[in-house]
Chains A and B, each alone.
Chain A
Amino acid sequence: MGSLPVRSKGMERLLTLRRSGTDYVVTGVAILSTVVVLVPLVAILGYLIYKGASSLNLAFFTHAPVPVEETGGGMANAIAGSGVILGLASLLGIPLGIGAGVYLAEYARGTWLGAAVRFTADVLNGVPSIVMGIAAYSLIVAKQHHFSGLAGGVALAIMMVPTVARTTEEMLATVPNPVREAALGLGIPKWRTVISVSLRTASPGIITGCMLAFARVAGETAPLLFTAFGNQFWNFNLNQPIAALPLQIFVYAISPYDEWHRLAWAGALVLIVMIMVSVTLVRIFANRGALKGGH
Chain B
Amino acid sequence: MNEPGIIPLIQTRVPQQREPDGTEVHAPAVPSVIRNFLRAKSSGRIADGAFAGVMVLCALSIFAIVVLIVFVLVSDSRLSIHASGWKFFTGQIWDPVSGDFGALPFIYGTVVSSLLAVVMAVPLALAVSIFLLDICPKFLRGPISFLTELLAAIPSVVYGLWGVFVLVPIIRDQVGPVLEKYLGWTGFFVEPNFGVGIFTASVILAIMIFPVISSISRDVMRAVPVNQREAALALGATRWEMIRISVLRNARMGIVGSVILGLGRALGETMAVTMVIGNHPDIVKNLFAPGYTLASVIANEFTEATGDLYLSALIEVGLALFLVTIVVNAVARLLVWAVTRGNTAGAH
Contact = CB atoms under 8 A, between A and B. Distances in A.
Judged by CB atoms under 8 Å, the answer to whether A and B touch is yes
Contact of B131 (A31, A107, A113, A218): A31
B303 A128 contact: no
B69 to A, nearest CB: 5
Given A30-B128, A192-B44, A249 B157 contact: yes
A283 B149 CA distance: 12
Q: 10 closest A-B pairs (Cβ-Cβ)?
A: A219-B155, A128-B268, A99-B58, A189-B44, A191-B51, A33-B127, A126-B329, A103-B59, A30-B131, A138-B72
11 contacts: A22-B240, A34-B136, A37-B148, A99-B54, A100-B55, A103-B55, A103-B56, A123-B330, A161-B62, A187-B38, A246-B155
B73 A135 contact: yes
Nearest to A128: B268
A31 B135 contact: yes
A138 B155 contact: no
Contacts of A106: 55
B338 interface: no
Contact of B62 (A34, A43, A165, A215): A165
A23 B239 contact: yes
Interface stretch (B23-31, B223-231, B315-323): B315-323
Interface in B8-54: 38, 43-45, 47-48, 50-52, 54
B165 interface: yes
Interface string B142-177: 001011101101111111111011100000000000
Nearest to A268: B158
A68 interface: no
Nearest to A119: B333
Contacts of B155: 218-221, 246, 271-272, 275
Interface stretch (A6-14, A56-64, A222-230): A222-230
B90 interface: no
A253 B47 contact: no
Interface in B185-239: 207, 210, 238-239
B302 interface: yes
Contacts of A257: none
A139 to B, nearest CB: 6
Interface string B74-104: 0110000000000000000000000000000
Contacts of B347: none
Given A103-B55, A275-B153, A124 B62 contact: yes
Interface in B97-124: 123-124
Contacts of A253: 157, 160-161, 164-165, 275
B51 A194 contact: yes
A134 interface: yes
Contact of A20 (B75, B147, B238): B238
Interface of A: 19-20, 22-23, 26-27, 29-34, 36-38, 40-41, 43-45, 47-48, 51, 95-100, 102-104, 106-108, 113-114, 116-117, 119-135, 137-139, 142, 158, 161-162, 165, 187, 189-192, 194, 215-216, 218-222, 225-226, 229, 246, 249-250, 253-254, 261, 264-265, 268, 271-272, 275-276, 279, 283
Q: Which of B73, B135, B241, B271 has the most CB of A within 10 A?
A: B271
A23 B238 contact: yes
Contacts of B57: 99
A221 B55 contact: no
B161 A128 contact: no
B325 interface: yes
Main secondary structure of the interface of B (DSSP, over half): helix
B299 A96 contact: no
B281 interface: no
A226 B298 CA distance: 10
B339 interface: no
Contact of B44 (A44, A122, A191, A272): A191
A246 B131 contact: no
A251 B169 CA distance: 20
Contacts of B154: 44, 219, 272, 275
Interface residues of B, number: 87
Given A106-B55, A127-B325, 7 more contacts: A26-B239, A34-B128, A128-B322, A131-B268, A158-B65, A250-B271, A254-B164
B289 interface: no
A128 B321 contact: yes
Contacts of B72: 134-135, 138-139
Nearest to A215: B153
Contact of A128 (B75, B158, B241, B325): B325
Nearest to A105: B55
A222 B156 contact: yes
Contact of A138 (B76, B135, B162, B238): B76
B264 interface: yes
Nearest to B328: A126
A107 B59 CA distance: 11
A41 B178 CA distance: 23
A128 B162 CA distance: 21
Given A44-B154, A128-B268, A131-B268, A226 B65 contact: no
Contacts of B123: 33
A198 B101 CA distance: 54
Nearest to B165: A261
Contacts of B286: none
A241 B203 CA distance: 34
A38 B76 CA distance: 44
A53 to B, nearest CB: 15
B129 to A, nearest CB: 9
B47 to A, nearest CB: 5
Contacts of B295: 128, 130, 222
